Amino acid sequence: MDYVASCNLPTPWAVFQLHGFVKPDTGKEHVVLTLGDVGDGRPVLARIHSECLTGDGLFSQRCDCGAQLETALKAIAAEGRGALLYLRQEGRGIGLLNKIRAYNLQDQGADTVEANERLGFPADMRRYDLCKPMLDHFGVASLRLMTNNPRKVDQIRATGIEIVERIPLQVNRNPHNEGYLQTKAAKLGHWLKTTLTEPDQ
């Protein structure tokens, strides 16, 4: 992973530093937002977030991605220190247009896993090994990770990054994404409550 450049990024919650990286073998661009001194040796409050144009940029209620992104940035801003890795892995790695095809299948009754598989893809193609060189760039060796995804935790730990705490990030559950979240819990093992009325875990 090659570092490219950095700049200030003012947001409604804080002025972050935005850092650009490129993976030479694929040309895929990824970014990291940091706030405060993340290289001081202490565990860093972090979110590893995969790109979701529909949720992050178009306010879709079919998923919880946009709400997770905003909540994570607010949490980092409130703490005054942290990092958010924004990975260009749209649609759990299948890409934007295939994600739209998958949404069409979901409109016809398929769940998110079934839709990906009908298109010939695994349920989740995302990879997290690319996080290690980006975190190494900032001298970050341990995280307090905001996630509900056990696969993400396992893959990050496998790279040698320590996760000292997992912080649940369940937000914006609504009637439009209820089935999506239930499938995440049932088929992908995500740590999520299973109904709208169940108490938070």
As annotated, the active-site residues are: 124, 126
Q: Is 65 among the annotated ligand-binding positions?
A: yes
Q: Is 91 among the annotated ligand-binding positions?
A: yes
Q: Is 92 among the annotated ligand-binding positions?
A: yes
Task: Please state, in angstroms and rounded to a whole number, the distance separating the CA atoms of residues 52 and 98.
Answer: 13
Q: Is 131 among the annotated ligand-binding positions?
A: no
Question: What tokens does 135 get?
Answer: 């975190």
Question: What tokens does 134 get?
Answer: 């980006």
Task: Please state, in angstroms and rounded to a whole number, the distance separating the CA atoms of residues 19 and 191.
Answer: 30
Q: Is 11 among the annotated ligand-binding positions?
A: no
Q: DSSP secondary structure string, the chain?
A: -EEEEEEEEE-SS-EEEEEEEEETTTTEEEEEEEES-TTSSS-EEEEEEE--IIIIIT--SSSSHHHHHHHHHHHHHHHT-EEEEEE--GGGGT-HHHHHHHHHHHHTT--HHHHHHHTT--S-----TTHHHHHHHTT--EEEEE-S-HHHHHHHHHTT-EEEEEE-------TTTHHHHHHHHHHH-----SSTTSPP-
Contact 82, 35 (CB under 8 A): yes
Q: Is 184 among the annotated ligand-binding positions?
A: no
Q: Is 152 among the annotated ligand-binding positions?
A: yes
Which residue positions form the known binding site for GTP? 47-51, 68, 90-92, 112, 147, 152
Which residue positions form the known binding site? 47-52, 63, 65, 68, 90-92, 112, 147, 152
Which residue positions form the known binding site for Zn(2+)? 52, 63, 65
